[in-house]
A and B are shown apart, each in its own frame.
Chain A
Amino acid sequence: MLWDALLLQLGYNATLVTIGACFLGIAAGVTGTFLFLRKRALVSDAISHATLPGVALAFIVMVSFGGDGRNLIGLLLGSAVSAWIGLLCVSWLTRYTRLAEDAAIGAVLSVFFGFGIVLLTVIQSMSSGRAAGLEGFLLGSTAGMLWSDAMVILVGGAATLALVLMFRRPMGMVAFDPEFAAANGLNVARIDLMIMGLAMAVTVVGLKIVGLILIVAMLIIPPVTARFWTERTDRVSLIAGAVGGLSGYLGASLSAAAPNVPTGPIIVLVSFAFFALALFFAPNRGVLAAVLRHLKFQRRVHMRQGLLALAQGQPIYEKLTLRLLTRAGLARADGVVTETGRARAAKALWDEKRWEIVRADQAFEGAAALYDGLRELETILTADQLTEIDARIAPPTGVPS
């Protein structure tokens, strides 16, 4: 069953939904990257909640003009207009009043959403029965998807993706360094608005599949996931697109294969699974990598301290240090130093003395700044400099009799 769904063999409708979700996921992931890098991920929350009154108003307008009221293009246009108004409200509140952006986002999302609910109850009372389906925009519903709806989503997703790809360089520049972008002649405010506008486009296109409450997740989770794997913008957006597309595809397939599994939530949960995977196993930024890095550091510190203790003939009681030294063949289990151990310990003590001179001499200021008690001097200074330092370490002179 699941294989059939994954290979798009589960009927016409399921195939449409799966492909649509995949496109949407890619577009959302790539767009969300710029939102996330600009540190304004939650603006998408305001945008998505602000779509509701537009959907309801569009429905009312279409019905009062004698139309069907459920024409997807009309509803999406309405949602785009009200989301745009919500967006302008957020930027107006942050710009011209003292309110911080988070308060503006929260105010806009709750008020617009509340007004949307009021309009939904108006619709329920004005034409009972015909309103069925508008609630589907809250959590997404793919059950009764038509070919034309799927085409709207496909084309919308593809167009958004194309726009993002076209403007990725200015948007990346603004996301990282607005001042630099402004100095380069870019209109930062306009590009900011464009990032938001693209996020809005994704939201509007995704309303039907994922619903307005969960579309936020598709804009936030893939970029956050991608950020774990790489430090480069273009790769973040690439990986975010891949994660988004993959979770859209897998989620829609799962929802088609199993009964009672709504599409939106399962897509979000699949992308959360990718996120959890990245959180724990990503190289460099993942939790596992951090733990390994910490353990490695701990071993180096113990090794170093152990060698210095050996050099000064002190006994070693600390278990981890002793184990590390024995394993490296520098000491025996009872703490007695071996021949190699004696040599390494002498080197450690020698290095310590060299560091002392480096840190005392203004001429080596640059090198001294790198002192952390573990670093090998050979990796910082040239052989000539080392010889010069070694010359200053006084050799043992006459032994008093």
Chain B
Amino acid sequence: MSGEEFVPLSLTPLLIGVFAAIACALPGNFLVLRKQALIGDAISHVVLPGIVVAFLITGTVATWPMMFGAAGAAIVAVALIEAIRRLGRIEPGAAMGVAFTSMFAAGVLLLEQSDTSTVHLDVEHALYGNLESLIWLDAMGWESLWDPVALAGLPPELIRMALTLVAVTAFVWLFWRPLKISTFDEGFARTMGMRTNLLGLALVVVAAIAAVAAFDAVGSIIVIAMFICPPAAARLMTNRLEMQIVWSVVFAIAAAVLGYFVAGFGPLWLGFGNAVSAAGMIATMSGMILALTAIFGPCRKRLGAPAV
């Protein structure tokens, strides 16, 4: 494959996929360790009502209103889950199930009720995303990377995703010690004077930001898969948090790259005409990686667990 073909057609979707995968996997590490992995699932469901409400208010499919709508919906969902859990004394899993399914249902209903036939907004798009279409038409080849005119034509999703990745990385880097301590021993963190509740909320908000940005570019399947699969696989590889983060980033990149190419070219090699969904294939690949680590990973067993 030559640079003329690769740079405009594959480079940007690939980069967006990789950035999205890493941005979700980083906070996902802490969510998995805190047994809050399904928060990612809940957030990616409630993003739909968020963007529908944003669309109904502004009347356009502009990016920023939708991002705000989605982020707002994520925060509303977290508040709703907490409210149901505390007020009704319901276990967290069930509270989450009540909150996100109801909000998702409300989103679907609003979408069907409002006149969205003229704009590109539907449930399928929200689920699969449209990674393959995020191409860089102005690029001619590798040399376009140094061409300011061509660079101006980069898909805006790429820049947004890159910024999100920087923000998420900065959060994890800045709050590394408090995050680590409060994840492993919340009581100890509190006696050291850390505001663990605030930190937990901040983690969820950062996860929501990553989810919303990634969702905009690649759909909600990747978001859920990347929140959970690479960190879970990394958890089976090592006992050290630092190494776990490194492994999860490696797995996220591997899943994104492998998934993208298998989706784009796998069917051609097998003799079928069309490519398959890249988002779905990236999720599938992350599952394959998790399966491999679950069978062969050096730290796959619980410490002290009886040999079965």
Complex alpha-carbon distance, A124 and B123, angstroms? 17
Would B284 and A42 count as touching, CB distance under 8 A? Answer: no
Q: Which of the residues B35, B105, B235, B294 comes within 8 Å of A272, measured between beta carbons?
A: B105
B240 in the interface (beta carbon within 8 A): no
A residues less than 8 Å from B93 (CB atoms): 39-42, 102
Q: CB-nearest residue of chain B relative to A92?
A: B294
Q: A110-B221, A220-B97, A268-B102 are in contact. Are A103 and B32 (CB under 8 A)?
A: yes
Does A97 make an interface contact (CB < 8 A)?
Answer: yes
Q: Closest A-chain residue to B90, C-beta based? A: A224
Among candidates B108, B113, B227, B280, residue contacting A114 with C-beta atoms closer than 8 Å: B280
Within 8 Å CB of B290, what residues of A?
107, 111
Tell me which residues across on chain B come within 8 A of A116, comparing CB atoms: 280
Pair A106/B106 contact, Cβ less than 8 Å: no
Residues of A99-146 contacting chain B, CB below 8 A: 99-100, 102-107, 109-118, 120-122, 124-126, 135, 138-139
Instruction: Give the residues from 235 to 288 in chain A that come closer than 8 angstroms, CB to CB, to chain B.
Output: 260-262, 264-266, 268-269, 272, 275, 279, 285, 287
Kindly specify which of A177-185, A209-217, A299-307 makes contact with the partner chain: A209-217
**Is B182 an interface position by the 8 A CB rule?**
no
B:118-157 near A, CB below 8 Å: 123-124, 127-128
B contacts with A, residue count (CB < 8 A): 70
Contact among B96, B106, B108, B287 for A115, CB-based, below 8 A = B287
**A153-167, CB < 8 A from B:** none
DSSP majority for the A interface?
helix
With A45-B97, A220-B97, A221-B102 already in contact, the answer to whether A121 and B88 are too (CB < 8 A) is no
A93 within 8 A of B: yes
Q: Which residues of chain B are near A221, meaning CB under 8 Å? A: 97-98, 101-102
**Is residue A96 within 8 Å, beta carbon to beta carbon, of the partner chain?**
yes
Q: Across chains A and B, which 8 residue pairs bring their CB atoms closest together, nearest first?
A: A114-B283, A111-B287, A117-B280, A217-B101, A125-B274, A268-B105, A110-B225, A220-B97
Chain B CB within 10 Å, residue with most, of A97, A114, A214, A285 = A114
B108 touches which of A40, A216, A228, A264 (Cβ 8 Å): A264
B84 within 8 A of A: yes
Q: Known interface pairs A118-B263, A266-B109. Does A106 touch B224 (Cβ–Cβ under 8 Å)? A: yes
Could you say which residues of chain B place their CB within 8 Å of the CB of A208?
Answer: none
- Say if the beta carbon of A98 comes within 8 Å of chain B: yes
B194 → chain A closest CB, angstroms: 23
| CB–CB A121/B276 < 8 A | yes
Q: Return chain A residues, CB-CB under 8 Å to B101.
A: 213-214, 216-217, 220-221, 268
A97/B97 in contact, CB under 8 A? no
Q: In whole angstroms, what is the CA distance A214 to B109 when docked? A: 12
Q: Does B246 contact A (CB under 8 A)?
A: no
Q: Please, which residues of chain A bring their CB within 8 A of the CB of B104?
A: 213-214, 265
Nearest chain-A residue to B233 (Cβ)? A107
Q: Which residues of B contact A122 (CB under 8 A)?
A: 267, 272, 276
Task: Report the minimal beta-carbon distance from A314 to chain B, rounded to whole angstroms.
Answer: 38
Query: Nearest-CB distance from B104 to chain A (Å)?
Result: 7
Partner of B88, one of A42, A117, A279: A279
**Which residues from B are CB-within-8-Å of A228?**
88
Contact pattern, A 63-94, Cβ under 8 Å of B = 1, otherwise 0: 00000000000000000000000000000010
* Residue B13 lies at the interface, judged by CB distance under 8 Å to chain A: no
Among residues of A, the one whose C-beta sits closest to the C-beta of B40 is A106
Is A220 a contact of B235 with CB atoms below 8 Å?
no
Tell me how far the C-beta of B244 lies from the nearest C-beta in chain A, rounded to whole angstroms: 12
CB-based contact A106/B227 at 8 Å: yes
Instruction: Show 11 residue pairs from A and B whose CB-CB distance is below 8 angstroms, ordered by the A residue.
Output: A39-B91, A39-B94, A41-B94, A107-B228, A114-B283, A138-B127, A139-B108, A224-B95, A261-B109, A268-B102, A279-B84
